[in-house]
Amino acid sequence: MIVVITGASSGLGAAIARRCARDPSTRLVIVARRADRLQALVEETGATALAADLTAPDTPDRIVKQVEHDFGRLDVLINNAGAHRPGTFRETGWDNVREAMALNFDAHVRVTEALLPLLRASAPSSIVNIGSVAGRVGLAGSGAYSAAKFALSGWSEALYAEERRHGVHVALVLPGFVATEGFAHNELRQRWFTRWLVSTDDKVANAVLAVISRRTSERYVPRAWWFVPASCRLTPGLFRRTKPTIGS
């Protein structure tokens, strides 16, 4: 199985790469900006690395050329790259929205467009988009990030319907809080009634492999997070009045 993973230099991307590499028949192409971290992961997993800025105009074509040169086919594309700069719209303005959309949405669309011919030719194949619970529920201080993830969710649903007949399965994985160095999760994990909110890189990676093997269209991590967007849709007025501060 040939797999391309974007945003693979750390965090979720690196965890997904390590999980995929457990299968000796899997060959990886990992893409991210930080060449030094990619090289460390290459030594660990045997992957092919491509150091590139996913927002650069030529990056999708560079990925295609790398995959075609090394393997001539593609079975799985995992669109994982992303970043979150918190702040209200008044504080961060259009610049934050533009930057969030460029990396968290536009880059995934452009990479997918470039690789879709290879995925169709290799069908049955899969695209996995790493979304967020913030792509189902908009939260104060995360508007730019939520906007990009909402766009990714809607586009993923449409792409699923369009590509199903071509044998390309499209899945959306929606993590909630994930325990990383940049997220202060200790307080949540110490309380029994909020502990369930926090997941790990490894659990998200396992969910990615699960939606590929089972051809599932959508998966929350942890699974109980589905309740948050469901309650928002059922009682939007009540949900907004509570002014939630939870998010991914």
Which residues are CB-neighbours of 200 under 8 A, at least 6 positions away?
178, 179
**Which candidate in 9, 126, 145, 221 is catalytic?**
145
Spatial distance between the Cα atoms of 136 and 2, rounded to a whole number of angstroms: 30
Q: Give the pair of three-digit tokens for residue 53.
A: 């800025």
Spatial distance between the Cα atoms of 243 and 224, rounded to a whole number of angstroms: 20
Q: Give the pair of three-digit tokens for residue 111.
A: 């990479």
Render the burial of 71-99: b for 16+ CB within 10 Å, e for the rest.
beebbbbbbbbbebeeeeeeebeeebbeb
Task: Based on the residue annotation, tell me whether 145 is a catalytic residue of this protein.
Answer: yes
Spatial distance between the Cα atoms of 70 and 29, rounded to a whole number of angstroms: 9
- Catalytic center residues: 145
